[in-house]
Structure 1
């Protein structure tokens, strides 16, 4: 079984549907929940790929504020150095940008929260994971920080007018998504009722933000479940395992 290390920095942002999609695509998930005190491995030995999820921590927090992120950065650095198949989401994407030499800071245009669209860039058409993604896919946004500068050599794959660095690739196999694709409606509803600052940056109240996000979840599954399957194929190929024929 091809094995994916899944780093969950906070149980407020679980793998949710993305975990289901990856298991359905044939991956074994080794989940490490940092809230529960699960230890992180020193390196990626015994794993064929890496998934780093989101959380309320800030990627610019110093070590004394967010010591749990030190090991996450180390694993991302190892993945980038070895061009290991990697998917990093929201906080994970910001950490990957930092580790790769980019810059992250507090979002200059305030929090970006709720159901939204992003625009695939031309480079996405030529990318094995992003190629089949529609030009303007639905996503869920929930971030207060922004990826202000991409790492050197990064390929920008998706953008938006408010925050341009929405998805990028480093090397051949490491992908970062500033937005969320993994959520279920219950998770987003919890976020909406626990983040008054984020919700205040929208024209809506918490329930409306959650309702609008719930309405796009079928569209999220239609686009991003196949994306997850393509990422699983990438992990399997890197492990030398056979990739299923559609």
Structure 2
């Protein structure tokens, strides 16, 4: 497990009780669950249908009756099909979601997969890994966005990635940026969002990542302890801001599920 491409952390919520729209959740590795995002979605009455792909659980060929798709993070690269042979199936589901306007949320590696699957590109950061709690800046299109429109200027976001999107897909709308990573969030069409950061995690999870990735980070000139401290200091704001964003995405899922009769 490394900081090379990003993770999604915390086991988060499991599958909810029957009832309510169901969201397919693609999980790439053991410590890569939906965390705070999952908690807020389940609280809003949305069921999570996790696929633990690294365990060999098969992805569905299509989204079927799912009302949404979440693609989480992980330490593989978005094109590393040899290490993660399920990635072509994930890319196919991403394209299906965008074509059908089924709500989609890609987180860190998941956001990179969205960009790559739709014709953008991802590369290794020449500046080294970006980790810790980093303030984001709103871009003009954020104001009218139904999911990220309420994110305040300068809101902190947890970063843990060594790759980044360097070219957006055609037609993508950038929503949030940062001083050291240009594409922190973007939307494709009316129902697909991708973020480079981790709205699902807090300091406890980041401390686990720092313990696992410490040697690699220090060799890149990054102090993992400083990253953990920054996240811990921002914890309350992180939960408030990204919990609200999770609920906003869930509202989109519910509205579109009602419209489709899912």
User: How is 1:73-222 mapped onto 2 (pairs within 5 angstroms)?
Assistant: 73-195=91-213, 196-201=215-220, 203-204=222-223, 206-222=224-240
Residues 198 and 80 of structure 1: CA distance in aligned 2, closer, same or farther (over 3 Å): farther
CA distances 1:164-196 after superposition (whole Å, capped 9, x unpaired)? 011000000000000011013222111111113
C-alpha displacement of 1:78: 0.9
- Partner in structure 2 of residue 17 of structure 1: 36
CA distances 1:90-118 after superposition (whole Å, capped 9, x unpaired)? 00000000011101111122211111111
C-alpha displacement of 1:81: 1.4
C-alpha displacement of 1:241: 6.4
In the superposition, the TM-score normalised over structure 1's length comes to 0.92
Matched, 1:3 2:32: no
CA–CA distance in structure 2, aligned partners of residues 199 and 171 of structure 1: 40
Kept after mapping to 2: 8 A contact 1:88/1:96:
yes
Match of 1:220, SS state, is helix
CA distances 1:28-78 after superposition (whole Å, capped 9, x unpaired)? 1111112332221111002000011100111132x2232121221111111
Match of 1:240, SS state, is helix
User: How is 1:55-66 mapped onto 2 (pairs within 5 angstroms)?
Assistant: 55-61=74-80, 63-66=81-84
C-alpha displacement of 1:209: 2.2
- Partner in structure 1 of residue 90 of structure 2: 72
CA–CA distance in structure 1, aligned partners of residues 84 and 56 of structure 2: 13
CA distances 1:100-148 after superposition (whole Å, capped 9, x unpaired)? 1101111122211111111111110111112111011110001111101
Q: Which runs of 5+ in 2 are unaligned?
A: 1-19
Kept after mapping to 1: 8 A contact 2:76/2:83:
no
Task: State the aligned residue count.
Answer: 240
Kept after mapping to 2: 8 A contact 1:113/1:202:
no
CA–CA distance in structure 1, aligned partners of residues 219 and 141 of structure 2: 34
C-alpha displacement of 1:200: 4.5
- Partner in structure 2 of residue 49 of structure 1: 68
CA RMSD of aligned residues (A): 1.6
Match of 1:40, SS state, is coil
